[in-house]
Amino acid sequence: MKYISTRGQAPELTFEEAMLTGLARDGGLYLPAEIPVMSQDEIAALAGLPYEEIAFRVMWPYVSGSFAEDEFQEIIARAYEGFGHDARAPLKQLNENHFLLELFHGPTLAFKDFAMQLIGQLFQVALKRRGERVTIVGATSGDTGSAAIEAFRGLDAVDVFILFPHGRVSEVQRRQMTTPADSNVHALAVDGDFDDCQAAVKDMFNDFDFRDGVKLAGVNSINFARVLAQVVYYFSAATSLGAPHRKVSFTVPTGNFGDIFAGYIAKRMGLPIDRLVVATNQNDILHRCLSGEGYFKGDTIPSISPSMDIQVSSNFERALYYAYGEDGAAVAQLMDELKNGGFNVSQGAMEALRENFDSGRVSEDETLATIKTTLANSAELVCPHTAVGIKVAEDHRTADVPMITLATAHPAKFPAAVEKASDVHPPLPSRMSDLYERPERVTRIANDLGAIEDHIKRHIAE
């Protein structure tokens, strides 16, 4: 499989090359040149298989050529062995046709472990074979950073630097980033918001001297390998509810459009998904865009679902690429306009987006109310991001198609909001109950590209 850039000006790469490089050199995002399609029989055969086997069958066409078959099977096995649930991504029923897909049983209690644990193992095998060492730099609104640190800590071919917005992540999120003692882990608290952190990472990738000098690699959700890992649980969930013989819909609490874009890929692969519903908090650029108001940046307003406090959704570029008929030049022009504030989506592209996506926005009060009613009506304590999804799903679900809402984090990751809503304090799973006692290690740094690059150069292992 070859990988191409959404902006059409970067060289085609293999899966391994696209994974190791992250962002394309023309500023675009890598996508497979063709999306492989599974037959209805192949999809039906997934029902009831172990998660790891479903993962292998869904992802194999994308990675073959870069990894051997048994090597890839071992990578998948190692990636998910640390999860706290045998099903990896269990489904729970909320009411007659609304289900929760629990994606928080990994080591950092959020869905990002699904992709990051896999990427850690893929990087290790690929770099070992090449005899290379890389510097991983990522921006996080909270959960990506801890997931990356957990996935890469202690690997000797990798230094990992994580930029997070100072004071804008939850205490559990911060401690998960600042308490690992491994010397290849570097947590940077940036004086800015998540969009500043994300912009700094993008700028580092576009500073080719720096990029090549430190051998920069990216594991943000722009990395196609991450999107790919997330495609798997759409298949496991849908087939356990009767797909391909029955359609299902998904509602996805969304910030960077990564998780829901994985659902779009699953649909293009042949999984009968009826609707893909984008659920946003008050940072609603995606909801406004899908409502026909154009894609215009606003200010990021901190919320109780901080992992979705995003005003520029990196992966939306991938959806635009398909909506604009795979026209890289058109996407490049839109992204230029975005630098000046935003753009209107053409009528044809809007129609293409609306064929697949619906959207809804949830206020802070509605989020709290949903945590409370979900506990009362279904005996499930959910995190604020999941609550945003549940509210939008309830507004969109229909009687004839099961709705699956992605439960993106464990409630204990966001104890303040959960307790405020429900009067219940969500305990951490016992395997991480000493998190509040471990010493923290973090560098506070100005929102300044030069200062950040300098710090990285001085702290990578020789």
Catalytic residues: 112
Q: Which is nearer to ligand PLP, 5 or 313 (CB)?
A: 313
Is 145 a residue that touches ligand PLP (CB under 6 A)? no
Distance CA 355, CA 116 (A): 30
Q: Which is nearer to ligand PLP, 104 or 322 (CB)?
A: 104
Distance CA 448, CA 52 (A): 42
For ligand PLP, the binding residues in 105-144 under the rule CB under 6 A are 110, 112, 143
CB 46 within 8 A of CB 54: yes
- Any idea what the Cα angle at residue 151 is, between residues 103 and 237, rounded to 5°? 20
Question: For residue 47, with 0-12 CB atoms within 10 Å meaning exposed, 13-18 middle and 19 or more buried, which class applies?
Answer: middle
Give the binding-site size for ligand PLP (rule: CB under 6 A).
16
Is 259 a residue that touches ligand PLP (CB under 6 A)? yes
Is 409 a residue that touches ligand PLP (CB under 6 A)? yes
What residue has token string 């912009």? 199
Residue 254: CB minimum distance to ligand PLP, A:
4
Name, in order, each residue with C-beta under 8 angstroms of 36's C-beta and a sequence gap of 6 or more.
1, 61, 62, 269
Q: Which is nearer to ligand PLP, 46 or 262 (CB)?
A: 262
Residue 138: CB minimum distance to ligand PLP, A:
12
CB 150 within 8 A of CB 108: yes
Contact track, ligand PLP, 52-91, x by CB under 6 A: ----------------------------------------
Kindly report whether the peptide bond that precedes residue 244 is cis, defined as omega within 30 degrees of 0: yes
In three-state secondary structure terms, 29 is: strand
Distance CA 238, CA 244 (A): 8
Is 190 a residue that touches ligand PLP (CB under 6 A)? no
Residue 211: CB minimum distance to ligand PLP, A:
23
Is 276 a residue that touches ligand PLP (CB under 6 A)? no
Is 410 a residue that touches ligand PLP (CB under 6 A)? no
Distance CA 217, CA 203 (A): 13
The correct pick among 249, 283, 307, 374 for binding ligand PLP (CB under 6 A) is: 307
Is 180 a residue that touches ligand PLP (CB under 6 A)? no
**Residue ranges in contact with ligand PLP by CB under 6 A:** 110, 112, 143, 221, 253-259, 307-308, 385, 408-409
